[in-house]
Amino acid sequence: MSLVFAAPVALAAFAAASAFADLDAIDHAVVAFAGSAATPVDRRLRLKPCDTPLALSWRTEGRESVLVQCGDAGGWRLFVPVNASGSAGAVVINRGDAVTIVVSGEGFTVAQPGEAMEAGAVGAWIRVRTAAARPGDEAMRAQVVRPGVVTLPLP
C-alpha cells in the first residue's frame, strides 16, 4: 500500500523541482550570445519554465544588455547587463573596497561581506578575504561580477 502513495508524492516532488526556469541555463545562454562576462540573473527570480527555445537579442545598439525572452504564451522577458565593449578593462573594484563575496553551486547561493585585496575589472580574478578573516588567513581568488560583487562559482 505504501507504493501506491509513494508514486504521487514522487511526482509532486519532481513537479515542484521543475516548477521554475533554470537560471544557470539562462546565464550560460547570455554568455554564449554576448561572448563576454554577464551579470548573473538574480537567483530570487521564480520564472515559469519555457517550453520554447529562449530568444536572445541585444537590448540596445550599445550592446550593454541582452534581452532574454520566453516565447511561450504568457512568457517572460529579462534584461541582463553585460560588459560593454567601451568599458572593458575599467577597474570597478579597488584594493580595500568592501565587497560581497557570492558562492554559488547547484541549487544554492550564499553571500557574505568581504574586502578586496586587489583591484580588478569585471571578469578579472582578484584576491579577496572575508570580513571574518583573521590576520594570517589566506586570501581567496574570486571573479569580479560588478562593482562591489565578486563570485566563487562551484562546479
Q: What is the CATH number of the domain that holds 103?
A: 2.30.30.760
Question: pTM for this one?
Answer: 0.45
For residue 98, the cross-strand partners are 115
Are residue 123 and residue 112 in the same domain, yes or no?
yes
Q: Which of 86, 109, 136 is the last residue of a domain?
A: 86
Q: What is the pLDDT of residues 128-142, one digit of tens each?
A: 999 888 888 888 899
H-helix or E-strand spanning residue 152 = strand 149-153
Residue positions counted in the chain: 155
Q: Which of 59, 86, 113 is the last residue of a domain?
A: 86
Are residue 8 and residue 80 in the same domain, yes or no?
yes
Please list the pLDDT of the chain residue by residue as tens digits (155 residues): 444 444 444 434 444 456 899 988 888 888 888 776 667 888 888 999 999 999 988 887 777 888 999 999 989 999 888 765 444 567 899 999 999 999 988 888 899 999 999 998 888 889 999 988 888 888 889 999 889 999 987 76
> Domain tally for the chain?
2
Q: Which of 28, 60, 86 is the last residue of a domain?
A: 86
Residue ranges making up the domain that contains 72: 2-86
